[in-house]
Structure 1
Amino acid sequence: MYLALEGIDTAGKSTQIALLREKMPQAIFTCEPGGSELGKKLRKILLEEEMELGKEAECLLFLADRAEHIHRVILPNQDRLIISDRSLISGIAYAKDLDFQKLIELNLFAVQNILPNCVVLLELTQEELEKRLSVKHQDRIEQRGVEFLLEIQQKMVEACHQLKIPLLKIDAKESIDSIHQHILKHIKIFS
């Protein structure tokens, strides 16, 4: 089973991934970008460096990471539980200024039509997002602002519907343990 944990920045994905690692040491844990050796280098360029990229170049770098991730991590482990911090759903959503249908096509090409069996989306309200962003150092993506991130969140839902991937939406304001229990229950349903 291939499960993608999705959510905009500060939604709590990292916290949930850490809890799942403790509970499921036999699972394969990965992330996008950065789940492969190439991905680690691209992640640094995309999220940390002070390099201004055009939206097409940025999208293509993410697609290169995604293609390598599928090849090196997802395909060799299809017989195991794979839990990914982000997936093509984020890739489609974060490239929101490009043509949606073209993004679907390009991402399906990059992932060789291999989709998550299900997506868990940690959703944030505007108020909660503003609160969380105000107390942390913001990376290049987060600096684009609250409206940008909320639009991304909506695009994640649209991408799941378009690709017909089962989607579980969880209110990210719930307690950490409550969110964790929802995710564990969902994994059991799809395993």
Structure 2
Amino acid sequence: MLINFEGVDGVGKSTQINMLKEIYKDAIITKEPGGTELGLMIREYLINNASKISQKAEILLFLADRAEHYEKVLKPNYGNLILSDRSFVSGLSYALANDDNLDIKTLIELNKFALCSDFGDKFVFLKADENLIRQRLFSRGQSDDIENRGIEYLMRVQGFMSIILADLKFDVLEVDASLNPKVIQEKIRKFI
């Protein structure tokens, strides 16, 4: 079973996945971008250079990572529990937040191609308000090119995540990221 964790930077996806790793010791833990060698190179490049490349190039780099991640990590491990920090939903949301005139149908078709139409089984969507995101991002200290696009941008991303998850009718658990991490963890374990 593939469970994708979605939410903008700072909502606690990694925290929740790390807590689940203690319970589900055999689970495959991965992330997107960066779950493969190619993905790590793409992730590193985009984190430091997102402002220097065209939007289409950024989208296509994320799609290359997604296709490699599917072939090298997801597909070979489908008999196991897989916990993924982000999925194509993030890719679509970040792209649309940059330019909401993009053709969503084309983007979904490109993602179907990259993922062989396999979007996963369940989605955990950690949602936060502007104050929580600001507080958590500033507590980290340094930010990357994507985080530097600002809080308003991240709120737009989160809004697109909500729309995409609802429109595609996935099995979704939406959780308030401001709750105590143990409370969130209990909700996620029941959902799994």
Q: TM-score, normalised by structure 2?
A: 0.93
Q: CA deviation at 1:46?
A: 1.0
User: Relative to 1, partners in 2 of residues 1:110 and 1:25: Cα closer, same or farther, differing over 3 Å?
Assistant: same
Q: What letter corresponds to residue 115 of structure 1 in structure 2?
A: F
- Aligned sequence identity (%): 43
User: Relative to 1, partners in 2 of residues 1:123 and 1:50: Cα closer, same or farther, differing over 3 Å?
Assistant: closer
- Aligned residue for 1:100? 104
Please state if 1:176 is matched with 2:178: no
Q: TM-score, normalised by structure 1?
A: 0.93
Cα distance between partner residues in 2 of 1:85 and 1:110: 17
Deviates more, 1:42-51 or 1:113-122: 42-51
Please state if 1:148 is matched with 2:145: no
Question: Is the 2:13–2:85 Cα contact (8 Å) retained in structure 1?
Answer: yes
Flag as ranges the 4+ runs of structure 1 deviating above 4 A.
none
Unmatched segments (≥5 aa) in structure 2: none
- Aligned residue for 1:70? 70
Question: Is the 1:45–1:51 Cα contact (8 Å) retained in structure 2?
Answer: no
Cα distance between partner residues in 1 of 2:115 and 2:82: 15
Instruction: Please tell me the root mean square deviation across aligned C-alpha atoms, in Å.
Output: 1.3
Give the 3-state SS of the residue equivalent to 1:121 in structure 2. Answer: strand
Q: What letter corresponds to residue 177 of structure 1 in structure 2?
A: K
Please state if 1:120 is matched with 2:120: no
Cα deviations by residue, 1:27-50 (Å, 9 ceiling, x for unpaired)? 111100011111111111111347
Cα distance between partner residues in 2 of 1:119 and 1:170: 11
Q: CA deviation at 1:13?
A: 0.8
Unmatched segments (≥5 aa) in structure 1: none
